[in-house]
Structure 1
């Protein structure tokens, strides 16, 4: 049979009995805490609660256990010692066991069945529980820190049965109670005690940081540390004001002294202080200096100001200029009247520990006049009445002035905008100045009158319906619908967009001299795009075709693209007459840009024509081709005009490789007079301008540059006449710049012509009569000095394929202001052979240049297509 075992469960509430700890005292402090709950349980009655009994029980048979709970949460610090005291009111036991249990139980409800579980903190076993005596058990290992603790009390071994006084003593009948015998925990805490003194780490140097370690201490925790640094001289130490942290930055005032630190440790019981050993004597360090402001490396200023900052103790500061004498100084220091050349400066700071220095150097350069470059200006020709200029300068600028049209100079800044310019030539100048001088830059431009297009009578769009009336832009008809609805005087406005054409846009209707039929762009780019195939050998397709017998039809401002498949951009069939193509862009055709086949009264004016003649099935054509001898009437004067066009990239990919010219007049006989004037023709495979078997051709004020690029086409040049029946050819005010072995002018196979005031540059000059070469009034050999013409490599073949597009030319071929072309020409209306009828045609198209700038009323015309202001 098992011997009875009693377990005692107590729960204590904290009650402060005594406190004997004072700040700074070395004495320990004790506190007594009463249980907040206690009870015991009985295995024989597993569901019975004994929480109101006046005694606690511990026994083996039956098994009895007691529980006590203490609330130590208000314990100010960890304990040095904790003892459990219970008074034995009855019985004895040689051994008593104390263990930690969970604090989940309640005094009035705990039973054997719901008893708290044990915790894994071990247990304490003591001996000698005897009736009428206190049992004192050291439970420090079970309850050292603030918190709530529950203990189980049981007999240990096979013998013993005890009754202990409960916190409810007086309500039970186990024994007579004695006052003051309630269970309690006696908690002992101790003040700090220094075990090893504080220490100091770091270098004993000015501006260094010393760090204090608190040393080792015993006593109840938590424990805090405070610091006080002290400065010592000859064994006398005094506090350093404000130096109360573990780290200490050594100031200059500590140099020559030693340092120590006093550390005070404090806990809930008290405090104590300890001091470190003194450091070695604080040593000074040399000061440092950094120059923070100095003149730039190169300057025109004769005055200089320098500034610097220092660190450390500075007992002296000296400065030196240009390696001269050192003299005392302070920051900032200034010097004036420095000479042109290199200069140097040094500053030195020192104390008893040493010195350091910093240097600066710069060069005073002689002041030179500033420079200015105009970076933005209006285009050479514009219809805008306002202009904005921007410029960049270099050097020292003390003032900036601007001038318009030779007027007064006035102060200005970049950018500068001006307005209300009248139609005509204008110039702008900007001048920058300093005490050494000034420089200027100039720009010129021309305000041209805006072209006036006739008002629309019909509207068409790429998506318009052929059944629509087309009388407003909001209800346009189709392109074919506009053609069928047009009558003499109709102005067909093509709304912006792409008009795909798989077959020629064939026109058979006619206008009259006073009421032509006009097709023009409206509201943006109207693109007539070829979408059909390539023609078979011997045949051709045109994007736009004026049918035989049709007349008085005009095309204004259109963009015509042959997609390198359609043979011709605009074709005029045999017997048609009075065709005008102006202000349009024609590109990517297999043969010609504009082809007039036995047509009369053809005007090709102010167009951009590029990349023509690349279909090997057609060929034998040029960018502008006036072909066939035809007079629709015998009216005197010019019937045909090719004026103000920019043409590049023409080629002849047929097996003949004989054309690809900019403009060719191939009449085969006595055709009506043709005026070819104010054109800029460059980088084509064939000639610039050609009169082949043709008469009555006037080449006036044209600019030709580096044509004849197709080496498969032999005998080509720039401006040429060829064939024994080519006569009455006139060369006036032209400039031709040839390359390598190509002639700028040529009369071949019996052709004859009259030369007046022309310029040639480069190439072979022997293909014109010697009399022409000998007379500078007929032909001068001189560099025209274009602004920025494209580069052409004379060693490469067929560079026409990559020619600069006309719409990208800008001012490339405008002569420089120093060009010999300026004022070198003649008024072509005054040369021999100009009849009144011919003069009327010249008056129509030669009074302005390619940009619309006015030509002089008499002598002093510029050579080429451009008239300089």
Structure 2
């Protein structure tokens, strides 16, 4: 039996076109072919679930059935939790490199995941190699109100604390979530956070439309938040492991006091939180890229780094954030109490009297090549920062506000090349020379910016590049927002790196783009095949 098994494995290695990662050498057989599981509210969990004619009824049944490489195809209908306090979908089973488990809408369908009294619409709980793509996650804000929340919102009750999508550690097993992609989803109206990643690593949040979240929770959440990530497989400050790219984020605000301090806090568009570590969390050693996002009309900041390190906030557009009247206004795009953070090629249009950026408690934080307008004078102004009207096509606070650049904008052709970001929010390529600042690349042939920009299209992954020039460094103490946690428990985040920046406009090495799933090099593949050939020869000799 052993010889037969060895021969089968060797033959598979030598002749199969299946990637080597899909073969189980010890078992002597290849992994089963990837399956698609179908889900419909009209289905039955007693069905096989392997065809559109016999779908499962619940998302959970499909999730508990899926194996690496499988797809859960979600058909039209509305999906809610089976009981109060549960999640609509809890993902605990993992995929593996090159074979993720994918949860997506069935072609041509528009299912809605609708948490009502759930902690989360979708919870990735200690799972890895997961893709959540093209779904609508809609919370229950329409059935709630501020008066009710002020009276009844509390810890331990999910009614006013429901998150749309949560990626977190499994506190029972200690397993960390990693290699998770949340791409091209519509995420809105959850009383708690929009998309959060806590104690996770290798996370991509790209091309999502996130709005009207965080209104009623007591946990001080935001539209998109990354909190206390944990290094999985090591990390260094020159390799991106977390990417927040190409999202459209607006109307997220906390209207209820954070239970921890009995104060109002957060409600940001995008926050990178506590990557420097604290007494309960180690410092995160990887690098984070925040690029090509549009963040506007949020209660807190548009985008900011808090107690974090090794973060690049590049080519984003922020407009009239800091709208909350319940707390001191946050700046549009800034870093606070952070180290090795670069804020470059951004466009920030502030409210009257609003802080433009911050130098508070920062070390090795660079602001440069940004366009500022409205609000107070910048606390930190890089050599190439500009204070001028960016001339948006049709700015506003609605879902379809247009932040493309009009002809004559000071943002056109005045940025600094940043090789990690070669495309804009629509996927259009940036010029080979000085790029346009902000999330949109200007299209001179039409006299306006590239079409699109709802944030629903996936932005291109970062490419390896070189570092841009520096502006001034920050570093003065001040008070700043503290960040809350996502229920039922939470934490905060942190990172660090050699910037490779030079004050005279020169460039140095920037963070490399670390691929989510390593590809087997050809050289290694050749060695494996050679070993397989040797094994085949040995088996034949033994037989003879």
Map Cα deviations across residues 117-140 of structure 1 (whole Å, 9 max, x no partner): xxxxxxxxxxxxxxxxxxxxxxxx
Specify the alignment match of 1:826 in structure 2: 416
Map Cα deviations across residues 453-498 of structure 1 (whole Å, 9 max, x no partner): xx97221112211121222222222222211220000111101221
Q: Are the aligned partners of 1:577 and 1:600 in contact in 2 as well (CA < 8 Å)?
A: yes
Question: Whose helix proportion is higher, 1 or 2?
Answer: 2
How far 1:752 moved relative to its partner? Answer: 4.3
Q: Note if 1:785 corresponds to 2:391.
A: yes
Scaled by the length of structure 1, what TM-score is found? 0.41
Structure 1 825/699 Cα, relative in aligned 2: closer, same or farther at 3 Å?
same
Map Cα deviations across residues 556-613 of structure 1 (whole Å, 9 max, x no partner): 0000012134521111122211111110011111221111111111111000001111
For residues 730 and 820 of structure 1, the distance between their equivalents in structure 2, rounded to whole angstroms, comes to: 21
Q: Note if 1:626 corresponds to 2:226.
A: yes
Q: Note if 1:700 corresponds to 2:277.
A: no
Q: Note if 1:760 corresponds to 2:360.
A: no
RMSD, aligned CA: 1.7
Scaled by the length of structure 2, what TM-score is found? 0.65
Structure 1 500/620 Cα, relative in aligned 2: closer, same or farther at 3 Å?
same
Q: Are the aligned partners of 1:468 and 1:477 in contact in 2 as well (CA < 8 Å)?
A: yes
Q: Are the aligned partners of 1:543 and 1:566 in contact in 2 as well (CA < 8 Å)?
A: no
Aligned match for 1:482, one of 24, 46, 62? 62
Structure of higher RCO (CA pairs closer than 8 Å, 6+ residues apart): 2
Specify the alignment match of 1:42 in structure 2: none
DSSP 3-state at the match of 1:482: helix
Q: Are the aligned partners of 2:60 and 2:90 in contact in 1 as well (CA < 8 Å)?
A: no
Specify the alignment match of 2:272 in structure 1: 665
For residues 74 and 35 of structure 2, the distance between their equivalents in structure 1, rounded to whole angstroms, comes to: 9
How far 1:668 moved relative to its partner? Answer: 4.7
For residues 229 and 69 of structure 2, the distance between their equivalents in structure 1, rounded to whole angstroms, comes to: 29
Specify the alignment match of 1:804 in structure 2: 398
Q: Are the aligned partners of 1:721 and 1:752 in contact in 2 as well (CA < 8 Å)?
A: no
Aligned match for 2:39, one of 460, 464, 484? 460
Map Cα deviations across residues 214-255 of structure 1 (whole Å, 9 max, x no partner): xxxxxxxxxxxxxxxxxxxxxxxxxxxxxxxxxxxxxxxxxx
Structure 1 481/595 Cα, relative in aligned 2: closer, same or farther at 3 Å?
same
Q: Are the aligned partners of 2:123 and 2:167 in contact in 1 as well (CA < 8 Å)?
A: yes
Q: Note if 1:851 corresponds to 2:441.
A: no
Q: Are the aligned partners of 1:467 and 1:481 in contact in 2 as well (CA < 8 Å)?
A: no
In structure 2, stretches of 5+ residues that fail to align are: 1-33, 142-159, 170-175, 258-262, 277-282, 444-544
Residues 394-543 of structure 1 correspond to what in structure 2 (within 5 A)?
A: 457-478=36-57, 479-501=59-81, 502=83, 503-504=86-87, 505-522=89-106, 523-532=108-117, 541-543=119-121
Q: Are the aligned partners of 1:736 and 1:745 in contact in 2 as well (CA < 8 Å)?
A: no
For residues 269 and 228 of structure 2, the distance between their equivalents in structure 1, rounded to whole angstroms, comes to: 17
For residues 77 and 329 of structure 2, the distance between their equivalents in structure 1, rounded to whole angstroms, comes to: 43
Map Cα deviations across residues 145-185 of structure 1 (whole Å, 9 max, x no partner): xxxxxxxxxxxxxxxxxxxxxxxxxxxxxxxxxxxxxxxxx
Specify the alignment match of 1:596 in structure 2: 197
For residues 590 and 516 of structure 1, the distance between their equivalents in structure 2, rounded to whole angstroms, comes to: 30
Residues 765-780 of structure 1 correspond to what in structure 2 (within 5 A)?
A: 765-768=377-380, 772-773=381-382, 775=383, 777=384, 779-780=385-386
For residues 759 and 456 of structure 1, the distance between their equivalents in structure 2, rounded to whole angstroms, comes to: 49
How far 1:551 moved relative to its partner? Answer: 0.6
- The structure with the larger Rg is 1
DSSP 3-state at the match of 2:111: strand
Q: Note if 1:562 corresponds to 2:139.
A: yes
Specify the alignment match of 2:536 in structure 1: none
For residues 577 and 487 of structure 1, the distance between their equivalents in structure 2, rounded to whole angstroms, comes to: 16
Question: Whose strand proportion is higher, 1 or 2?
Answer: 1
DSSP 3-state at the match of 2:105: strand
Q: Are the aligned partners of 2:161 and 2:219 in contact in 1 as well (CA < 8 Å)?
A: no
Residues 369-380 of structure 1 correspond to what in structure 2 (within 5 A)?
A: none
How far 1:696 moved relative to its partner? Answer: 0.5
For residues 441 and 351 of structure 2, the distance between their equivalents in structure 1, rounded to whole angstroms, comes to: 24
For residues 339 and 362 of structure 2, the distance between their equivalents in structure 1, rounded to whole angstroms, comes to: 9
In structure 1, stretches of 5+ residues that fail to align are: 1-454, 534-540, 791-802, 830-841
Structure 1 627/664 Cα, relative in aligned 2: closer, same or farther at 3 Å?
same
Structure 1 750/865 Cα, relative in aligned 2: closer, same or farther at 3 Å?
closer
Specify the alignment match of 1:232 in structure 2: none
Size of the aligned set, in residue pairs, is: 366
Map Cα deviations across residues 508-563 of structure 1 (whole Å, 9 max, x no partner): 10001200000001122110011326xxxxxxx11111112x11111000000121
Residues 177-188 of structure 1 correspond to what in structure 2 (within 5 A)?
A: none
Map Cα deviations across residues 436-460 of structure 1 (whole Å, 9 max, x no partner): xxxxxxxxxxxxxxxxxxx972211
How far 1:712 moved relative to its partner? Answer: 1.9
DSSP 3-state at the match of 1:861: coil
Specify the alignment match of 1:573 in structure 2: 168
DSSP 3-state at the match of 1:496: coil
For residues 372 and 35 of structure 2, the distance between their equivalents in structure 1, rounded to whole angstroms, comes to: 46
DSSP 3-state at the match of 2:339: coil
Map Cα deviations across residues 790-849 of structure 1 (whole Å, 9 max, x no partner): 1xxxxxxxxxxxx523xx33xx111112222111112112xxxxxxxxxxxx2xxx2221
Specify the alignment match of 2:18 in structure 1: none
For residues 428 and 240 of structure 2, the distance between their equivalents in structure 1, rounded to whole angstroms, comes to: 23
